Structure 1
Amino acid sequence: MTHADICEAVVIAREEEQGQAYLCAYIVSGEAIPVPELRVHLAAQLPEYMIPSHFMELEKLPLNNNGKVDRKALPAPDREAYTEAYEAPRDALEMQLATLFAEVLSGGAIGIGDSFFERGGHSLKAVTLVSRIHQQL
């Protein structure tokens, strides 16, 4: 809420298919705010583990009859969508690594410029990724 362009915001913990929790932020703003800008803004105030993995812009937050945010009515984030420009792997090794990253992150296409942690990665997934890299490469 400290960002000048954000009118309303709520952050909730969601669960992915494998049962791992992640943070998702829902924001209402006057204009579109690039996700990297939001991450930089939050990084100045919060530790890395408290920065949401996903950001969703909404026209308004859904409210229940009591006027509180209806958390059950918040849409699930599109885990395939990513705001950074996609840059395809350039050779066979980068293709293998991108495939392993996508498997561990349960996401769509991974580009060579994508950040593991910004795409939903955390320390446990990093250990899994290192193990798979060691096994396959």
Structure 2
Amino acid sequence: MTQEHIREAVVIAREEEQGQTYLCAYIVSDEAVPVPELRAHLAVQLPEYMIPSHFVELEKLPLNNNGKVDRKALPAPEREAYTEAYEAPRDALEAQLATLFAEVLVTGAIGIGDSFFERGGHSLKAVTLVSRIHQQLAV
């Protein structure tokens, strides 16, 4: 599988409010890029830790006076730009887990079908999540 419709792309390391670093990809494409498909394509070629946590589609990459990508002008990813349809927790346990996921990911409502990693999670956040589940749910 190729991604011929992607004209330009740049990946940068960004820092969250808690000081953790994550990768964010900025893409200029001729058509809409389905993020799950793009992640699957990258997973064949890259280890998990090198796959960006967020993907931002832009009309064009901002350039500085030297014609290079102006990294400071790249917008922060929208945390709520996740495209899956929201499916509410069905019971108290799922509601507790969704709350823990949202706290660790620093995001809004988490549905039961949402992917931790597609919502911005990575291995360090997964360890934090497991620790919180262990503390709060005693499992």
Tell me, yes or no, whether TM beats 0.5.
yes
Partner of 1:29: 29
Partner of 1:51: 51
1:109-120 matches, within 5 Å, as: 109-120=109-120
Give the Cα–Cα distance (whole angstroms) in 2 for the partners of residues 84 and 52 of structure 1: 18
Partner of 2:63: 63
1:81-100 matches, within 5 Å, as: 81-100=81-100
Deviation of 1:63 after TM superposition, in Å, equals: 0.4
Deviation of 1:122 after TM superposition, in Å, equals: 2.0
State the Cα deviation string for residues 23-48 of structure 1 (Å, max 9, x = none): 00000000111111111111111111
State the Cα deviation string for residues 114-137 of structure 1 (Å, max 9, x = none): 111222222222222112112221
Give the Cα–Cα distance (whole angstroms) in 1 for the partners of residues 84 and 51 of structure 2: 17
Give the Cα–Cα distance (whole angstroms) in 2 for the partners of residues 18 and 63 of structure 1: 29
After alignment, is 82-91 or 63-72 more displaced?
82-91
1:14 maps to 2:14: yes
Give the Cα–Cα distance (whole angstroms) in 2 for the partners of residues 122 and 53 of structure 1: 7
Structure 2's unaligned 5+ residue stretches are none
Give the Cα–Cα distance (whole angstroms) in 1 for the partners of residues 40 and 66 of structure 2: 34
Q: Which amino acid aligns with 1:110?
A: I
State the Cα deviation string for residues 10-66 of structure 1 (Å, max 9, x = none): 000000000000000000000111111111111111111111010010000000011
- SS of equivalent to 2:55: strand
Moved runs in structure 1, 4+ residues, more than 4 A? none
Give the Cα–Cα distance (whole angstroms) in 1 for the partners of residues 102 and 62 of structure 2: 32
Partner of 1:124: 124
- SS of equivalent to 1:44: helix
Give the Cα–Cα distance (whole angstroms) in 2 for the partners of residues 50 and 123 of structure 1: 11
Give the Cα–Cα distance (whole angstroms) in 1 for the partners of residues 81 and 33 of structure 2: 15
- SS of equivalent to 2:45: coil
User: CA RMSD, aligned part only?
Assistant: 1.1
Give the Cα–Cα distance (whole angstroms) in 1 for the partners of residues 75 and 123 of structure 2: 26
Partner of 2:78: 78
